Amino acid sequence: MSNRIVVVYKSSTGFTKRYAEMLAEKIDCTLAVYKNATPEMLSQFDIVVFGTRAHAGRIDGLKTMKEIFHKSMARKFVLFVTGATPNEAEETIDGFWRQNFTADELAEIPHFYLQSGLCYEKMSFPDRLMMKAAAAMIKRKKSKSPEEREFEQAISSSYDISSEIYLKPLTASLANMEGNP
């Protein structure tokens, strides 16, 4: 069983890494970092779980990771994405999946959203600039919707709304796959 699942993560400020490590405490799997992922490496496993972040509405590294997966012998691709959007913003999260997946991918690739937060202390310089630009743009707006006010408040400083409880649907799905080889 132990060689069936590899969890490959791509993390910039640590949230995705932490979720990947929490996942590895709950299921029998091997952890690997994104930059070490090759078709040969993934071929040692049946199931590839890719963990990454939402980044300006996109899924960071997804295109490359899908290419590596398709060149490998691994059987199943599973995705989890961490983001600052709270779980309650269901419409935003649904739109995010629709924007990043084709209809076929939406049906084929099990995908999970894990709320995380923002960490300005560990953010790269370009990312900090992007956040600053977003904050300036919203500040300039004269009339703001309640959602825009909430967003403005949310991005004003670092916060952490991650929790291992959000891993439950993902661990349940993986347990189901393990039971149905």
Ligand X SMILES: Cc1cc2nc3c(=O)[nH]c(=O)nc-3n(C[C@H](O)[C@H](O)[C@H](O)COP(=O)(O)O)c2cc1C
Q: Which residues bind ligand X (CB under 6 A)?
A: 11-17, 53-57, 82-85, 116-118, 123, 127, 130-131
Q: Rank residues 52 and 72 by Cβ distance to ligand X and give the closer one.
A: 52
Distance CA 152, CA 109 (A): 33
Distances (CA, A) of 92 to 31, 35, 41, 44, 180: 30, 29, 34, 36, 32
Which is nearer to ligand X, 15 or 69 (by Cβ)? 15
Q: Residue 157 and residue 154: Cα distance in Å, rounded?
A: 7
Nearer to ligand X by Cβ, of 73 and 137: the residue is 137
Closest by CA to 167, choosing from 58, 10, 64, 15, is 15
Q: How far is the CB of 104 from ligand X (least distance, A)?
A: 23
Closest to ligand X by CB, 57 vs 169, is 57
Give min distance, CB of 181 to ligand X, in A: 31
Nearer to ligand X, 72 or 85 (CB): 85
CB of 129 to ligand X, least distance (A): 8
**Nearest residue to ligand X, by Cβ distance, number only:** 83
- Cβ at position 176, least distance to ligand X in Å: 26
What Å distances lie between residue 29 and 18, 144, 171, CA to CA? 15, 46, 11
Nearer to ligand X, 79 or 84 (CB): 84
Pairing of strands 47-55, 5-9: parallel
Nearest Cα neighbor of 33 from 15, 71, 7 is 7
CB of 148 to ligand X, least distance (A): 15
CB of 113 to ligand X, least distance (A): 8
Side chain identity, residue 139? K
- Mapped onto helix, strand or coil, the DSSP state of residue 181 is coil
